[in-house]
């Protein structure tokens, strides 16, 4: 799978904690970013999550034993190293671009801090020279104990990065600091370590998101089911990659990402005005919003009473924001559009790409499983002006956002 982490090998160490149930989410997000993920499990970890779960999600054998005479479902080093072609005959410690230990128990933290190597994971950690992220998860009293704090300080002094544990209710019932960091936060740290180059630094990006509401009267409106999730994901990922981001948002229940300039609008006409003004000073417009195609010709100033059996509304076309932006684009500016279609998706996408003078269009069908409204996932095909067509499997919208931005950089020659 293509993505910003394509060509990167990440070793995910999973240790014996109840928080191990979150580790598959980390694998899914990393694979969605294009990474090759090798999971190394301690014996205790296999009591919480089966190796088969990780093998299915990563597409690689799980390493859980030093020797070939192992338990079923756990691969030896030789088997893991002979799986993907790029790992053949190569030691994991040499092949890894990054190691993540999540969850990291007090036990593995203590072993690493004091040079103990009595299982495969602790041995690999001592041999690795790549960046390492530790994501602790344990009881609050253990987290606050002197010995754990000393071990953490030792590792931090050696350059180990810690994904800080969260405060909340723990498995023991106690409330305090000790919950595993959110998988998205862990993956964000990984991305920053593996992608130190801010490939959108110095660029100003305008992203539109969400629906619009076209008033029928003071209490009713015409709208659609867009949640804004795709646009918000694009804004967040563009910001992370160094861009100066303006988010033009229709009504959405989502909170704008920290660091993004968010301008809220209600109608398609308002969105047009803000987008055009913002795009004039920008390098890229990503039109992920779903503005209404029609609006009432004459909205009522007062609430329409429910007196007649039928009510006829005269609708008129709203402005085509993409076409308007494309008509005034200057040389060097990029435009990305979205096409939501329920039939002949690719044909419609190619037509809109050409007629609207876009650089990229992202086509999806809301009737496809995983691509509907108000979901965290999407299934899309990316079409480019240069003729590239990239068909993508179901993935998180955050991961899709990174794929889209990577394609933009390639298509516009910004790399």
CATH of the domain at 114: 3.40.50.1950
138 and 244 in a single domain? The answer is no
Max CA-CA distance within the chain?
A: 81
Question: Among 163, 194, 225, which residue terminates a domain?
Answer: 194
Residues annotated catalytic, as ranges: 224
114-154 per-position pLDDT tens digit: 999 999 999 989 888 899 999 999 988 888 899 999 999 99
Report CA-CA distances (Å) from 72 to 27, 263, 292.
21, 55, 55
pTM over 0.85: no
pLDDT band, very low/low/confident/very high, at 170 (cuts 50, 70, 90) = low
pLDDT band, very low/low/confident/very high, at 1 (cuts 50, 70, 90) = low
> In angstroms, rounded to a whole number, what is the distance separating the alpha carbons of residues 325 and 322?
5
170 and 264 in a single domain? The answer is no
> In angstroms, rounded to a whole number, what is the distance separating the alpha carbons of residues 339 and 188?
28
High-pLDDT (> 70) share of the chain, %: 91
> In angstroms, rounded to a whole number, what is the distance separating the alpha carbons of residues 111 and 315?
69
11-34 per-position pLDDT tens digit: 999 999 999 999 999 999 999 888
Lowest mean pLDDT among 16-25, 60-69, 273-282: 60-69
pLDDT at 76 over 50: no
Half-sphere exposure of residue 34: CA atoms within 13 angstroms, side-chain side: 17
Whose CA is closest to 103, among 49, 156, 57? Answer: 49
Q: Does residue 297 sit within a domain?
A: yes
Q: Which SS3 state, helix, strand or coil, does residue 336 take? A: strand
143-146: list long-range contacts, CB under 8 Å, 24+ apart: 143/106, 143/176, 143/177, 143/178, 144/176, 144/177, 145/106
Mean pLDDT of the chain: 89
Residue range(s) defining the domain that contains residue 377: 204-411
319 and 388 in a single domain? The answer is yes
319 and 219 in a single domain? The answer is yes
Whose CA is closest to 328, among 293, 362, 282? Answer: 282
User: CB within 8 A of 7, min separation 6: which ones?
Assistant: 34, 36
Q: What is the pLDDT of residue 369?
A: 86
The 10 Å CB-count burial string (b at 16+, else e) for 284-307 is: bbbbbbbbbeebbeebeeeeeeee
């Amino acid at each position: 799978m293509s993505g910003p982490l394509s060509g990167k090998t990440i070793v995910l160490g999973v240790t014996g904690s109840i928080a191990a149930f979150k580790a598959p989410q980390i694998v899914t997000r990393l694979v969605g970013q294009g990474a090759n993920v090798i999971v190394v499990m301690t014996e205790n970890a296999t009591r919480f999550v089966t190796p088969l779960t990780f093998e299915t999600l990563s597409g690689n054998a799980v390493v859980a034993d030093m020797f070939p005479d192992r338990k079923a479902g756990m691969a030896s080093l030789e088997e893991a190293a002979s799986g993907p072609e790029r790992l053949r005959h190569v030691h994991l410690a040499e092949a890894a671009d990054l190691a993540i230990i999540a969850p990291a128990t007090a036990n593995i933290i203590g072993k690493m801090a004091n040079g103990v190597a009595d299982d495969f994971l602790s041995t690999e950690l001592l041999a690795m020279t790549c960046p390492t992220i530790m994501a602790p998860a344990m009881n609050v009293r253990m987290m606050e104990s002197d010995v754990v704090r000393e071990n953490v300080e030792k590792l931090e002094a050696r350059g180990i990065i810690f994904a800080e544990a969260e405060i909340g209710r723990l498995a023991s019932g106690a409330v305090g600091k000790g919950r595993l960091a959110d998988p998205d936060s862990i993956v964000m740290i990984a991305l920053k370590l593996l992608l130190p180059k801010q490939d959108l630094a110095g660029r100003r990006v305008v992203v539109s998101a969400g629906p619009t509401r076209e008033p029928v009267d003071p209490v009713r409106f015409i709208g659609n089911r867009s949640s804004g999730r795709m646009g918000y994901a694009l804004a967040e990922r563009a910001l992370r990659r160094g861009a100066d981001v303006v988010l033009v948002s229709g009504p959405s229940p989502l909170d704008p990402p920290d660091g993004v300039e968010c301008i809220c609008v209600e109608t398609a006409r308002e969105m047009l005005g803000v987008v055009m003004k913002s795009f004039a000073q920008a390098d890229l417009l990503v039109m992920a919003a779903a503005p209404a195609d029609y609006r009432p010709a004459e909205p009522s100033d007062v609430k329409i009473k429910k007196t007649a059996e039928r009510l006829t509304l005269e609708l008129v076309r709203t402005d085509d924001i993409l076409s308007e932006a494309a008509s005034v684009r200057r040389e060097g500016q990029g435009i990305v559009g979205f096409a939501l279609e329920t039939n002949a998706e690719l044909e419609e996408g190619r037509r809109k790409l050409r007629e609207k003078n876009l650089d990229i269009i992202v086509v999806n069908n809301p009737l496809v499983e995983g691509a509907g409204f108000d979901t965290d996932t999407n299934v899309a095909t990316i079409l480019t002006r240069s003729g590239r067509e990239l068909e993508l499997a179901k993935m998180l919208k955050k991961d899709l956002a990174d794929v889209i931005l990577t394609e933009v950089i390639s298509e516009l020659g910004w790399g």
